[in-house]
């Protein structure tokens, strides 16, 4: 293909093994992930997957969006509400009501009159940030071109450690069970507003939102929302069904005509679906050597297309690799 | 509007003047820009605007995308080629061929066989980075809530100065004539791959692309492309006509069926259009007090919705305000 530039994450083809005579080219981040052994991939629990089916598109094609909810101890108050809302089938018949370019796609009850299920928690603003443990360890590995590599890593809970990062929004970052977090004090951390992350719409402070009104980021990471709005999950499949919707022409990207809204057929926790219909995904263990090499490659692109490696990457440019699992 | 979060750049309503009794609420970045005096806005030259008309959408609505080309001394080799290609009407009848989610929309000649105009320059890789001057100045102002504010700023050429920034991709940033640039040595600078920026597709190094194959960023800023691909401009209007297109299902987001491609009716430099049809835009002077306050507000959100100001913003989260001008 001529006159293109290559894309790391998109290029997931396996690299060829190097012969004794000729070294293999330096792999791209996507190639490193694709070459990772099966033991470095972790299955996602269906109980943590939210399956949102939108009405079929104009050509009758189904539109399924799969969202992975965050692991404890993060944002569990809102996530508990979201599980109750899904169990009550509360979102069935609601819609995507707002699509603002380079910002968010937002869904919920456009009438704002639909009664909420009983027993939803009121979550305090303090839960935007979570206590983490200072313990953990270091991952020693080698880069794909043989240089020694040391990556501070987040061990399995309660293990936790922070790596310094150059960032306008925080001074430390950590990867934990397939997710990335930011911190300034190294004792508390918060999830970050990156592309595809799912957050909870709210009114003015001290309201923090119930979880009934959700959005996903469809543009450059709005990191100024970190610690100001709850992050509860991320879209792991089908984000294009939201990001490619027509932009709303009303204030803040709201659809002006009810006819422009995109109907939500249903939102379910995957465990409520027939087993054969449950999505299966896995992520590259953030505690694996493969992930350490992947992070290094994201920060220092040395695959053939690149001339000048950046020497770093912002946290939202290090998406944790996720892949579907073929159901046997 | 309930259960939403507010958006700075979208909320462009003027703030109310403060009475002696009650101070005005702290304005959002968008409100600061909207309140800027007319003298702080700079008209864009029609000779620097590229007007791309796509075939009308399924409902027959026109789709116009307006691109502002970068000012000298940046990327002028490629921009010279782009002016020749537009003057030759070379893009007429070509198409948008690639839309990759959270990455780019790319257009040009899908056949890769269309002859290029004579006399296009071959631009060296060295031109990804540009020499800048070390002189310049400082802007002293006050924030909207009265705190003293000093912002290093880029004076009019040859004035130039760099402000330190916390960034994974560079150590300094500067604003110059309505554009933002990054640097590590403070002597050379390069344009940054932010949302809506337009770049030049290329083959493997040392090819740098002719300018015939262009793309715009429709996702999180792929800053690792900085200094590896030429940036030549930015979409200032109509980016939604590219960012909301269906994603390609082929490798790298290419459309697999020719029928999926979006036809380009024409691409012209605005000066070639009838005067009445020429788009008119202006940008907030990056050397103005208003812009200094806007940057401060982007970095420290204190408008009512926010609880925890970030204390910083990455360069791609400080888009230079641009607005259309009503033609008299």
Question: Can you tell me the mean pLDDT for A169-198?
Answer: 89
| More confident call, A290 vs B143 | A290
At A327, the pLDDT band (50, 70, 90 cuts) reads low
The residue that leads in pLDDT, A310 or B92, is B92
Residue A325 to chain B, least CA–CA distance (Å): 19
Interchain pair A305, B11: CB under 8 A: no
Residue B119's alpha-carbon distances to A173, A290, B78, B81, B122, in angstroms, are: 50, 48, 12, 8, 9
What value does the mean pLDDT take over residues B176-197? Answer: 90
Residue of A nearest to B319 (CA): A220
Residue among A101, A203, A251 whose CB faces B3 most closely: A203
How do A148-153 and A137-142 pair as beta strands?
antiparallel
Cross-chain residue pair B314–A202, CB shorter than 8 Å: no
Going by C-alpha positions, the residue among B134, B124, B136 that lies closest to residue B75 is: B124
Q: What is the pLDDT of residue A140?
A: 64
Interface test with A, best of B30, B96, B192, B220 (most A CBs within 10 A): B220
User: pLDDT tens digit string along A252-308?
Assistant: 999 999 999 999 999 999 999 999 999 999 999 988 889 989 998 999 998 889 999
Residues 6 or more apart in contact with residue B127 via CB below 8 angstroms? B75, B76, B77, B78, B208, B230
| Res. B140 pLDDT band, cuts 50 70 90 | low
**For residues B297-322, b (16+ Cβ closer than 10 Å) or e, as one string?**
bbbbbbbebbeeebebbbbbbbbbbb
Q: Which two tokens stand for residue A285?
A: 């263990």
Q: What is the pLDDT of residues B275-296, one digit of tens each?
A: 999 999 999 998 888 998 999 8
Q: Report CA A31 to chain centroid distance, whole Å.
A: 20
Statement: residue B162 has pLDDT above 60 = yes
Q: Tell me the percentage of chain A whose pLDDT exceeds 70.
A: 84
Using omega within 30 degrees of 0 as the cis cutoff, is the peptide bond preceding A245 cis?
no
Nearest 5 degrees, angle CA B282-CA B288-CA B290? 85
- Picking from B108, B239, B313, the nearest residue to A3 by CB comes out as B108
Mean pLDDT computed over B134-155: 61
pLDDT for residue B161: 63
CB B54 within 8 A of CB B65: yes
Q: What is the pLDDT of residue A6?
A: 39
Please report the pLDDT score of residue B157 as a whole number: 39
What is the DSSP secondary structure assignment for residue B273, as one 8-state letter?
Answer: S
Residue of chain B whose alpha carbon sits nearest to that of A101 = B240
More confident residue, B302 or A244: A244
* ipTM of model: 0.90
Model confidence band, residue B183 (pLDDT cutoffs 50, 70, 90): confident
Residues A114-131 pLDDT 10s: 999 999 999 999 999 988
What is the model's pLDDT at position A21?
53
In this structure, are residues A264 and A54 in contact, taking their beta carbons and an 8 Å threshold? yes
Min Cα separation B221/chain A (Å): 6
Q: Does the pLDDT of residue B165 top 60, yes or no?
A: yes
Q: Which of B201, B239, B298 sits opposite A101 (nearest CB)?
A: B239
Reported as a pLDDT band with limits 50, 70 and 90, residue B75 is very high
**Reported confidence tier of residue B177, pLDDT bands at 50, 70, 90:** confident
pLDDT at residue A5 tops 60: no
Helices vs strands, H then E, count in chain B: 4, 18
Q: Where do the domains of chain B lie, and which CATH numbers do they carry?
A: 45-114+122-132+187-278 (2.40.100.10)
**Over 50: is that where the pLDDT of B91 sits?**
yes
- Give the long-range contacts of residues B146-151, CB within 8 A, separation 24 or more: B149/B292, B149/B293, B149/B296, B151/B292, B151/B295, B151/B296
Q: In chain A, what percentage of residues exceed pLDDT 90? A: 68
Q: What is the pTM assigned to this prediction?
A: 0.91
Cα B69 from chain centroid (whole Å): 9
Mean pLDDT, rounded, of chain A: 87
């Amino acid at each position: 293909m001529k006159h293109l530039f290559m894309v790391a994450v998109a290029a997931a083809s396996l690299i060829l093994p190097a012969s004794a005579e000729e070294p293999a080219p330096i792999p791209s981040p996507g190639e490193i992930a694709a070459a990772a052994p099966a033991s470095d991939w972790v299955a996602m629990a269906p109980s943590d997957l939210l399956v949102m089916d939108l009405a079929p598109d104009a050509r009758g094609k189904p539109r399924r969006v799969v969202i992975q909810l965050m692991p404890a101890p993060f944002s569990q108050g809102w996530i508990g509400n979201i599980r109750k809302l899904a169990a009550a089938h509360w979102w069935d018949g609601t819609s995507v009501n707002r699509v603002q370019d380079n910002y968010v796609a937002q869904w919920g009850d456009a009438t704002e009159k639909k009664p909420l299920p009983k027993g939803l928690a009121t979550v305090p603003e303090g839960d935007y940030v979570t206590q983490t443990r200072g313990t953990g360890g270091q991952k020693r590995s080698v880069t794909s071109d043989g240089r020694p590599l040391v990556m501070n890593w987040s061990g399995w809970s309660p293990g936790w450690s922070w790596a310094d990062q150059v960032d306008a929004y925080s001074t430390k970052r950590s990867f934990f069970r397939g997710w990335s977090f930011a911190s300034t004090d190294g004792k508390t951390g918060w999830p970050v507003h990156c592309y595809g992350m799912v957050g909870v719409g709210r009114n003015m402070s001290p309201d923090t939102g119930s979880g009934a009104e959700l959005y996903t980021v469809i543009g450059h990471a709005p990191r100024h929302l970190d610690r100001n709005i709850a992050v509860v999950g991320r879209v792991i499949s089908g984000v294009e069904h939201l990001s490619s919707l027509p932009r709303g022409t009303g204030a803040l990207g709201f659809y002006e005509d009810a006819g422009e809204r995109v109907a939500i057929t249903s939102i379910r926790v995957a465990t409520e679906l027939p087993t054969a219909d449950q999505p299966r995904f896995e992520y590259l263990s953030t505690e694996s050597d493969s992930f350490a090499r992947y992070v290094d490659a994201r920060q220092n692109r040395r695959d053939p297309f690149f001339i000048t490696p950046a020497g770093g990457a912002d946290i939202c440019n290090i998406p944790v690799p996720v892949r579907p699992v073929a159901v046997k």
